[in-house]
């Protein structure tokens, strides 16, 4: 079986990606742990769409396991036990775009941030409209992705945030996500496209790319 191992730097950003061939989760975890220990970096181990293990290399107190599904491309087969894919997955380039992602679901935030970082984006996160505006004041943002409903701001918190930003910055692309389709059905007051959770992240990325190129 093929696994993908992500090494993380001191700022919790992905620094390297490797593919591991192993006969079981336990074997893959052992290989990933050994390499991460040599590199002196924390790691995450994925198999297909499931996070198998994540742990800091300095604290080998047992792996934290989960089978939460995510929309991540399945690693391709490689020859050999351990193959280096790239040295830096999210390099700083002259055309790198910054995404502000606003959602109060920490698991979804984690998954989206990881996905877009591996695709070369800089990702800033916030769990409320106020936190998003604070981040907006500190950073240069190219595009905003926000949940429609934010627990700290009400069922239309994300929409109100979008309207506020659009009023000041009409050309800013904003994308909305929601787990409540009925809440946004046939509404014409949402200043951007809406996607229903669970959203396919590869499709979301395509929309982001198209929006930034427009």
Q: For residue 126, what pLDDT is reported?
A: 94
Does pTM top 0.85 for this prediction?
Answer: no
Residue-wise pLDDT tens digits, 45-85: 887 767 778 777 443 333 333 333 333 332 333 333 333 33
What percentage of the chain has pLDDT greater than the value 70?
76
Residue-wise pLDDT tens digits, 111-153: 899 899 888 899 999 999 999 998 988 888 999 999 999 988 8
Residue-wise pLDDT tens digits, 126-135: 999 999 998 9
Rounded to whole angstroms, the Cα distance separating 71 from 74 reads: 9
Within the chain, which residue ranges are assigned CATH 3.40.50.2300? 98-213
Domain boundaries 98-213, CATH class:
alpha beta
More confident residue, 14 or 84: 14
Q: For residue 74, what pLDDT is reported?
A: 29
In what side-by-side order are the strands of the sheet with 98-102?
Answer: 122-126, 98-102, 143-147, 174-178, 193-196
Report whether 35 contacts 82 (CB < 8 A).
Answer: yes
Q: For residue 199, what pLDDT is reported?
A: 87
In DSSP terms, which residues pair with 146 in a beta bridge? 102, 176
């Amino acid at each position: 079986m093929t696994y993908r191992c992500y090494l993380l730097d001191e700022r919790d950003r992905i620094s390297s990606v490797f593919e591991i061939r192993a006969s079981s989760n336990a074997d893959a975890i052992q290989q990933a742990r050994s390499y991460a220990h040599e590199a002196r970096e924390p790691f995450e181990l994925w198999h297909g769409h499931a996070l198998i293990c994540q742990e800091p290399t300095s604290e080998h107190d047992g792996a934290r396991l989960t089978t939460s599904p995510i929309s991540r491309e399945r690693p391709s087969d490689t020859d050999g036990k351990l193959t280096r894919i790239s040295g830096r997955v999210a390099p700083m380039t002259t055309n790198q775009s910054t995404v502000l992602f606003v959602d109060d679901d920490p698991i979804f935030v984690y998954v989206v941030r990881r996905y877009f970082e591996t695709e070369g984006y800089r990702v800033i996160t916030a769990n409320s409209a106020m936190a998003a505006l604070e981040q907006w004041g500190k950073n240069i943002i190219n595009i905003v992705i926000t949940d429609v409903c934010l627990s700290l701001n009400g069922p239309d918190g994300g929409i109100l945030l979008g309207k506020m930003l659009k009023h000041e910055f009409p050309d800013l692309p904003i994308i909305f996500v929601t787990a409540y389709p009925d809440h946004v059905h046939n509404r014409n007051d949402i200043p951007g496209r809406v996607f229903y959770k669970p959203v396919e992240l590869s499709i979301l990325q395509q929309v982001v790319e198209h929006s930034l190129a427009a």
